[in-house]
Structure 1
Amino acid sequence: MNLEDFREFCLTFTGSTEDHPFEDENILAFKVMDKIYAIADTDKFKSIDLKCDPVKASMLRNLYQEVQPGQFKDKRSWNTIDTEGALDDELIKEWIKDSYSLVVETLSRKKQKKLEKMDED
């Protein structure tokens, strides 16, 4: 997966926005309702960080050498995915979608309803 494919895919999700929330302007984060669900370094796009259920995160790390504990956020519930490894782009996209969904589930009901309304428009 390359940076442009990653960026375009993330922006397909309802309410998804891109931001540079950290001091390093090369760090690009994708958010839904101001909550981050994906992070990448735009200068050297070699990996992405995605939110993940802690049990699944551990399982994925055991199954794939391209999956390591997150480098930007909580290592328990974030994974760093090697985008230059042998992982299929479709599998990475599935994990991006899972990350987005996990974040949406943590939103207040009010924000979820707002997001649903955006999806209808």
Structure 2
Amino acid sequence: MEKYLLTPPFNRRPVTINTLCVVGACTCIMIKMAVEKAFKTLGISELDIDVQPTVEDSPRGDRSRDPDIIVTVGLRANDFREMMPNTIVIEIRDLAKQDQIVREIRDALVEVGWLKEVI
């Protein structure tokens, strides 16, 4: 199994990740659990990430600034990209497929240079 190193363009703080509920039924909590599991699968310590569930009406949640990453399910990903241009927005296509979630997160973070494979 591959292991990765999380390398955001800052240090000395965890990467802030908000999971957004856009369809109701508390999906933000289910997304939060899937995201935490995905980062663990990638070999990233839970100390390196700060994941908080929130709702689409308040994508920043209780943070004082925009999160580093937003993970959502649904059709509003582009709206969030426009609203918060410095935030990485990752759209999960199927919450029931954990392997796919890991790939979607991995691919998005590799693309922006925040994730590097450890050999």
TM-score range, shorter chain: 0.3 to 0.5
- TM-score, normalising length: structure 2: 0.38
Instruction: Output the TM-score relative to the length of structure 1.
Output: 0.38
Q: Which has the higher contact order (CA 8 A, sep 6+)?
A: 2
